[in-house]
A and B are shown apart, each in its own frame.
Chain A
Amino acid sequence: EDKVVQSPLSLVVHEGDTVTLNCSYEVTNFRSLLWYKQEKKAPTFLFMLTSSGIEKKSGRLSSILDKKELFSILNITATQTGDSAIYLCAFRIQGAQKLVFGQGTRLTINP
C-alpha cells in the first residue's frame, strides 16, 4: 500500500530559527512529490519535485528530493511568525492526478 509519513508531527521554534521538515514515502510508480502550506483554510502549493538532488527554492523556503532513499525535506530559514502553519507533503502516482497526503507537520513559530 502506498504511503507517506511526515516528521515531526509538531514543532515549536522561536522566530529566526531554521527548521527542517521531513517526508518519507513508499510508493509504486512514483511521479512527483509536492509540498503544501495550510494556514487556516485551503492548502496552498509550495513546490513540486520530480528529480533527485535538484533543490527547489522560493525565498526562505527550499526543498529537495532523494528518490534513492525515498524522502524529501523542506527547509525554512530565518523563520517568521507568518510561517506558522501545517505543512503537508503528498505524492502523485504515474498516470494519475490523485494525490496521497502525509499527516502533516504543525509548525508554530513563537516571537
Chain B
Amino acid sequence: NAGVTQTPKFRVLKTGQSMTLLCAQDMNHEYMYWYRQDPGMGLRLIHYSVGEGTTAKGEVPDGYNVSRLKKQNFLLGLESAAPSQTSVYFCASSYPPGQGDSNQPQHFGDGTRLSIL
C-alpha cells in the first residue's frame, strides 16, 4: 500500500537551477495536486490536475510548471529556482467530487523538503 509517493525527499539547489519533483499514486485517483507549505502559512495550492493530460493553476502558480502525462504521475517543475521557493512541497490525490470521498478526501505524500541557496 504505497499510496502517494514523492521523490526526492530532500534537495538543495542553487539559484537559477531547474529541477522536477515527482509524485506517483497507486490508488487510481483522477485528481492530483501540488501544495507548498511554509511556516505560519498552512498549505497553498500551486497547481492541480483533474485528469490525465489536464492541469490548472492554483493559488501560487508562478515559477512552477506541471505535467500529467500519465494518470498515476504528476510532475512539478521549477524552471529557474529562486530562494523564495524554499519550502516543503506536498503532493496529494483524490477521487472526483461525489465518488468515494466520504472517508478521506485527499491522500497526501510525505513531502519534499527543498532548499534554494
The chain A residues found within 8 Å of chain B, CB to CB, are 6, 9, 31-32, 34, 41-45, 48, 88, 90, 92, 95-104
Chain B residues touching A, range: 20 to 34
- B106: contacting residue among A6, A41, A99, A102, CB under 8 A: A99
User: Which B residues lie within 8 Å of A48 (CB)?
Assistant: 102, 105
User: Which B residues lie within 8 Å of A6 (CB)?
Assistant: 42
Given contacts A98-B48, A98-B58, contact A42 B40 (CB under 8 A): no
Contact B102 A42 (CB under 8 A): no
Given contacts A48-B105, A101-B43, A101-B44, contact A95 B97 (CB under 8 A): yes
Q: List 28 A-B contacts (CB under 8 A).
A: A6-B42, A9-B40, A31-B97, A41-B110, A41-B111, A42-B90, A42-B108, A43-B43, A43-B108, A44-B108, A45-B103, A45-B105, A45-B106, A88-B42, A90-B42, A90-B43, A92-B105, A97-B94, A97-B97, A97-B101, A98-B33, A98-B48, A99-B33, A99-B105, A101-B35, A101-B43, A103-B40, A104-B42
Given contacts A34-B105, A42-B110, contact A99 B40 (CB under 8 A): no
Contact B94 A88 (CB under 8 A): no
* B84 close to chain A: CB less than 8 A: no
Q: Smallest distance from the beta carbon of A22 to chain B beta carbons, Å?
A: 14
Contact B109 A42 (CB under 8 A): yes
**Which residue on chain A has the smallest CB distance to residue B96?**
A97
Residues of B103-117 at the interface with A, using a CB-CB cut-off of 8 Å, are 103-106, 108-111
The residue among A32, A43, A92, A96 with the most chain B CB atoms within 10 A of its own CB is A43
User: Which B residues lie within 8 Å of A102 (CB)?
Assistant: 42
* B41 close to chain A: CB less than 8 A: yes
What is the CA–CA distance of A90 and B40 in the complex, to the nearest angstrom? 15
User: Which A residues lie within 8 Å of B105 (CB)?
Assistant: 32, 34, 45, 48, 92, 97, 99
